[in-house]
Amino acid sequence: MALISRFTFVALASLGAHVAHSLNIPNGPFRIPIPVKDDFTTVTTSITSDQRPVSVDIDVKRATSFLQTALDAEGMTYDGDIGDAATRLVRYDGCNNFDANEIYKGWVQSWKIMNQVLSEADNINWNEASAVEYLGPPGVNGGIHDSIRDIFKKWATIQPGYVTTPFDWRIHVRCDDPSKRCGDACSKDPKLRGPYAYTTNRDEESGLARINFCPLYFGTFNLKDAIDYGNDPQMDPTWRYDVSNYLMSKAHVWAHELMHIRWVTNSHIYGPNDNVTDIRMWANLVGIGAGVVRAYGPQPVKGLARYGKDGGSWVMRNADSLALYALVRYIQSQLGNVYPHLPLAPAAPSNAWDPSNPESDSVGTLSADAASRTGWKLYNNGSVGLPPIDTFASLSHDPRCPGAFPLGTTSMSFGDFIDEETELDPAYAIEFDTFVTADKLDQGYVDQLNGWYSDLYKANQCVVPSGCINMDPKGCDIACT
């Protein structure tokens, strides 16, 4: 993801003072070739959780074959030192050749997302729908705009061709589930399928930042395939502009997991930013009771962006808020610059809905499929109404596995990703009970959102042919004689 440059090395003790400058220079590619003898060599890096040097043996020929295969699959070429680029990922514990190829494919695909955000980071339109819905309204998060830009600039340069640090970094990749967190990718119970991947900043064996890829990852699709479906003229717009249909891709998993590595986002000892983790939202869920929802996927992430406390800083600490914003910007660039607005963000009334009347927002008039594309309902008393289906956690794209949860059931995001360091840390959990209302939002955005809700309801209206009747006053059940 990033490569070393002809950059003057600085003393380890002064790393923090120089990282911010070195990470802001995306003008490669510059490279120092790795000295290789018989295809094997040993490299040393001090880009670790404690900045202590770690040495690792690498097979340059094998790594190069994995990266070349991934580049070929994407129709991409690379004119730099491909051996140096390929050996940024090391060890592959428990990974066979198929696994390693799929890991490299995801890494390569994530570069497209990174490059899109890197080209826009200095000119984010904070009133545009994508920024408002994933990063929060500027009337709330204006104090953290510079920090969000900084995170994107660091994260987006973890690919070949960019100077990221004055030292030589490596990421340890594994498939052997060292923390025993992976599940059965084909379990009929979604809670037992396990995460797609999980990350720690210090692997106990190698001392390096490490991502373990679980069986669920290897059933994910390629981002280009989803984009191609979206651009099919015969594809219904409700599919084309629904972000849920572009999840989970290998690129999204990589984009998310990299956010957890502290030197990637310039956090902890490497810079001023907060750790980027998976925020947990404790909420009073209508019809369910007290519960916790992890901020993964478009519906929970768009809900978190409406949290009314702490100046929007929780968005900056949530990996999927940042990763999905980046992904959405790339998807939009590939769909004729039309924003993929589904599933909808929470509506923006002057006050939240009346909690004594669950049907006050008329969601009961929608079919289960259409209702799954609505946003969370944020009530006056701080309670939260979930849509009938959480589309992020509802799909498994592995053809060997069940396709979806039954329609009409409520589901919440499970452990789709895991940040091992902060998984249970109470510092990364919030009481989700205070919400931004319309007065904090740009009126142009409010009008746009209201229009999307109106379109969703209109599209759901039944067309009853002559001689037929609708048997369901709250949906569509056409019966013809």
pLDDT at 355: 47
pLDDT at 467: 60
* Higher per-residue pLDDT: 223 or 426: 223
pLDDT at 38: 58
pLDDT at 470: 64
Q: Grade residue 423 by pLDDT with cuts at 50, 70 and 90.
A: low
Query: Out of 15-24, 62-71, 248-257, which region has the weakest mean confidence (pLDDT)?
Result: 15-24
Q: In angstroms, rounded to a whole number, what is the distance separating the alpha carbons of residues 326 and 319? A: 11
Look up residue 106 and give its two tokens: 């995801």
Per-residue pLDDT at 367 exceeds 90: no
Number of neighbouring beta carbons within 10 Å of residue 29? 16
Q: What is the share, in percent, of the chain residues with pLDDT greater than 70?
A: 74
Burial classification of residue 75, based on how many CB atoms lie within 10 Å of its CB (0-12 exposed, 13-18 middle, 19 or more buried): exposed
Per-residue pLDDT at 302 exceeds 80: yes
The model carries a pTM of 0.84
Domains of the chain with CATH codes: 12-472 (3.40.390.10)
Find the mean pLDDT for residues 289-313: 89
pLDDT at 7: 22
Highest mean pLDDT among 31-40, 86-95, 443-452: 86-95
Q: Grade residue 377 by pLDDT with cuts at 50, 70 and 90.
A: confident
HEC states along the chain?
CCCCCCCCCCCHHHHHHHHHHHCCECCCCCCCCCCCECCEEEEEECCCCCCCCEEEEEEHHHHHHHHHHHHHHCCCCCCCCHHHHHCCEEEEECCCHHHHHHHHHHHHHHHHHHHHHHHHHHHCCCCCHHHHHHHCCHHHHHHHHHHHHHHHHHHCCCCCCCECCCCCCCEEEECCCCCCCCCCCCCCCHHHCCCCEEEECCCCCCCCCEEEECHHHHHCECHHHHHHHHCCCCCCHHHHCEHHHHCCEHHHHHHHHHCCCCCCCCEHHHCCECCCECCEEEEEECCCEEEEEECCCHHHHHHHCCECCHHHHHHHCEHHHHHHHHHHHHHHHHCCCCCCCECCCCCCCCCCECCCCCCCCCHHHCCHHHHCCCCCEEECCCEEECCCCCCCCCECCCCCCCCECCCCCCCCCCCCEEECCCCCCHHHEEECCCECCHHHCCHHHHHHHHHHHHHHHHHHCCCCCCCEEECCCCCCCEEEC
pLDDT at 114: 96
On average, the pLDDT of the chain sits at 79
Q: Give the CA count within 13 Å in the CB-facing half-sphere of 462.
A: 18
Q: Grade residue 188 by pLDDT with cuts at 50, 70 and 90.
A: confident
Closest CA to 48 of 267, 202, 277, 211: 202
Q: Grade residue 26 by pLDDT with cuts at 50, 70 and 90.
A: very low
Per-residue pLDDT at 165 exceeds 60: no
* Higher per-residue pLDDT: 474 or 409: 474
Find the mean pLDDT for residues 395-418: 44
Distances in Å between the Cα of 344 and the Cα atoms of 134, 186, 192, 480 are 11, 29, 28, 33
Residue 279, Ramachandran bin (φ over 0: left; ψ between -120 and 50: alpha; else beta): beta
* Higher per-residue pLDDT: 43 or 100: 100
Closest CA to 412 of 378, 369, 376, 358: 376
Look up residue 19 and give its two tokens: 């990282």
